[in-house]
Homo-oligomer: A and B are copies of this chain.
Amino acid sequence: MPIREFELIRWIRRAARRGPGVVVGIGDDCAVLNPGAGQLLAKSDAIVAGIDFEPDAPPRQVGLKAANVNFSDIASMGGRPRFLLATLCLPPHLPPGWAKRAISGILAGCRAAGASLVGGDLSATSGPATIAVTALGTAARPVLRSGARPGDAIGVTGPCGGSILGRHLTFRPRIAEGLKLARVATAMIDVSDGLSADLAHVLEESGVGAQLESALVPIHRDARRLARKSGHSALSHALTDGEDFELLFTCRPGNFPRGARRFGTVVRGSGMRLDGKRLEARGYEHVLG
Contact = CB atoms under 8 A, between A and B. Distances in A.
A224 to B, nearest CB: 28
A53 interface: no
Interface string A176-203: 0000000000001110000000000000
Contacts of A139: 32
B30 A34 contact: no
A86 B31 contact: no
A40 interface: yes
B46 A4 contact: no
Interface of A: 2-6, 8, 23-24, 27-35, 39-46, 48, 50-52, 73-74, 76-77, 79, 83, 85-87, 89-94, 98-99, 118-130, 132, 134, 136-137, 139, 142, 144-146, 188-190, 205, 285-289
A244 B44 CA distance: 27
A52 B126 CA distance: 12
A4 B79 CA distance: 30
Copies per complex of this chain = 2
Contact of A32 (B30, B77, B89): B77
Contacts of A34: 39-40
B121 A45 contact: yes
Given A132-B46, A144-B24, A123 B286 contact: yes
A50 B146 CA distance: 41
A283 to B, nearest CB: 10
Contact of A31 (B41, B87, B122, B190): B41
B132 A29 contact: no
Nearest to A198: B29
* Residue with the highest number of chain B CB atoms closer than 10 Å, among A134, A139, A288: A288
A144 B28 contact: yes
A46 B123 contact: yes
B91 A28 contact: no
A142 B288 contact: no
A288 B30 contact: no
A64 to B, nearest CB: 18
